[in-house]
Amino acid sequence: MNSRQPEAALNIRTAPEPTDPAAAPPAEMVEDHPPAAAATMRPRHFGLLASLIFMAVVPALLTGIYLWGWAADRYVSRVAFSVRQVDAASASDLLGGLARLAGTSSSSDTDILYQFIQSQELVGIIDGELDLRRMWSNGDPALDPWFSYHPPGTIEDLTSYWPRMVKVYNDSGTGIVNVEVQAFTPDDAHAIATRVYEESARLVNELSAVAREDTLRYSREDRDEAVARLKEAREAMTGFRNRTQIVDPAASVQNQMGLLLSLQTQLAETLIARATLKDTAPADDPRILQADRRIEVIRQQIEEERKNLGLGSNAAGDSGAFADLVGEYERLAVDLQFAEQSYTAAMAAYDAAVAESRRQTRYLAAHVAPTRPEASEQPRRLMLLALVWFFSFLAWGVVVLVYYSLRDRR
pLDDT per residue over 231-282, tens digit each?
988 888 888 888 877 777 766 666 666 777 787 788 788 788 777 777 777 7
pLDDT score recorded for residue 79:
92
Report d(CA 280, CA 260) in Å as an integer: 31
* Per-residue pLDDT at 404: 82
Give dist(CA 405, CA 410) in Å, integer: 9
- Chain centre to alpha carbon of residue 200: 16
pLDDT digits (tens, 9 = 90+) for 334-379: 888 898 898 899 888 888 878 777 765 677 888 888 999 888 888 8
| Percent of the chain residues topping a pLDDT of 70 | 75
Packing angle of the helix pair 107-117, 120-130 (nearest 10 deg): 60
pLDDT score of 354: 80
CA 251, CA 244: separation in Å to the nearest integer? 14
CB-CB contact of 310 with 326 (8 Å): yes
Overall average pLDDT of the 385-396 stretch: 90
> Cα–Cα distance between 134 and 228 in angstroms, integer?
61
Residue pair 63/380 in contact (Cβ under 8 Å)? The answer is no
How much is the pLDDT for 103?
43
Please report the pLDDT score of residue 305 as a whole number: 67
Q: What is the pLDDT of residue 315?
A: 36
Statement: residue 1 has pLDDT above 60: no
Across 249-378, where does the E strand assignment appear?
A: 362-368
Task: Quote the CA–CA distance of 280 and 286 in Å, as a whole number.
Answer: 13
Query: How high is the pLDDT of residue 312?
Result: 42
- Could you read off the pLDDT of 163-217 as tens digits, one per residue? 988 999 988 778 888 999 998 889 999 999 999 999 999 988 888 888 778 778 8
Amino acid making up residue 229: R
